[in-house]
């Protein structure tokens, strides 16, 4: 940047966002709201265009059709979820505290209304989009399991099967609140209830790992 006049410096540091990319993000955001509100079958691409702006021709050029748009939204939702469940580094925390942080962040994220709503859609459309069910149930769970298992290996190297213990931990976290929240849209878990639920799972797991 040395030697560039001020006006060129400003241009270089504030490059305009590509219009095609911006339009794609607008379609994805609008489609996400439409699918979460209306479900897959009832959702209309016309509603997406009305909310996002642009044209049907542009939407079809970028996503192909309604199914392609839904798959793109699902991928975006998956990436949002993975980012949200990945905690800050817990390497400096002992076993119990690290598991508490990981568990609370996972449970808080999976109980958010948008994630619950999209999970319901995924289950409802499992026959039409079996790969989405596999990704939501398997890939997301594997991501968190790896975070838990790596923490166990680092803090309890005597544990011979960290992956299995991590899977048990996730099952304990999901055992009550997740299924109730899926069945009842009015179900709410307070911060204190979430902390206590995770703490109980942590105590159970730590006792199992240490054999007492």
Residues 48 and 93 in one domain: no
Residues 57 and 106 in one domain: no
Residues 134 and 191 in one domain: yes
Per-residue confidence (pLDDT) for residue 8, from 0 to 100? 54
* Closest listed residue to residue 172, CA positions, set 205, 133, 210: 205
In a domain, 71, yes or no: no
The CATH number covering residue 196 comes to 1.10.357.10
In a domain, 79, yes or no: no
Residues 107 and 196 in one domain: yes
Q: What is the mean pLDDT of residues 165-188?
A: 92
In a domain, 78, yes or no: no
Is the pLDDT at 133 greater than 80, yes or no?
A: no
- DSSP track, 87-144: PSP-TTS-HHHHHHHHHHHHHHHHTSHHHHHHHHHHHHTTTT-HHHHHIIIIIHHHHH
Domain count, the chain: 2
Confidence class for position 151, pLDDT limits 50, 70, 90: very high
Q: What is the mean pLDDT of the chain?
A: 86
Q: What is the mean pLDDT of residues 81-100?
A: 86
**Are the C-beta atoms of residues 132 and 74 closer than 8 Å to each other?**
yes
Is the pLDDT at 44 greater than 60, yes or no?
A: yes
Q: What is the mean pLDDT of residues 197-211?
A: 95
In a domain, 69, yes or no: no
Per-residue confidence (pLDDT) for residue 143, from 0 to 100? 79
pLDDT digits 0-9 by tens, 56-72: 999 999 999 999 999 89
In a domain, 13, yes or no: yes
Residue 121, domain extent? 88-210
In a domain, 82, yes or no: no
């Amino acid at each position: 940047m040395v030697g560039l006049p001020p006006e060129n410096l400003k241009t270089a540091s504030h490059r305009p966002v590509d219009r095609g990319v911006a339009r794609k993000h607008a379609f994805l955001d609008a489609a996400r709201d439409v699918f979460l509100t209306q479900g897959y079958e009832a959702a209309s691409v016309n509603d997406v265009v009305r909310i996002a702006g642009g044209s049907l021709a542009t939407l079809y050029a970028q996503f192909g059709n309604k199914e392609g748009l839904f798959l793109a939204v699902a991928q975006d939702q998956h990436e949002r979820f993975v980012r949200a469940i990945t905690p800050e580094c817990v390497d400096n925390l002992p076993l119990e505290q690290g598991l508490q942080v990981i568990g609370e962040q996972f449970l808080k994220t999976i109980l958010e209304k948008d994630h619950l709503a999209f999970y319901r859609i995924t289950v409802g459309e499992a026959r039409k989009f079996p790969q989405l069910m596999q990704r939501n149930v398997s890939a997301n769970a594997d991501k968190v399991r790896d975070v838990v298992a790596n923490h166990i290996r680092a803090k309890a190297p005597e544990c011979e099967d960290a992956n299995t213990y991590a899977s048990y931990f996730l099952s304990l976290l999901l055992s009550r609140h997740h299924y109730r929240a899926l069945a009842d849209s009015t179900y709410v878990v307070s911060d204190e209830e979430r902390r206590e639920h995770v703490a109980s799972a942590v105590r159970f797991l730590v006792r199992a790992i240490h054999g007492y």
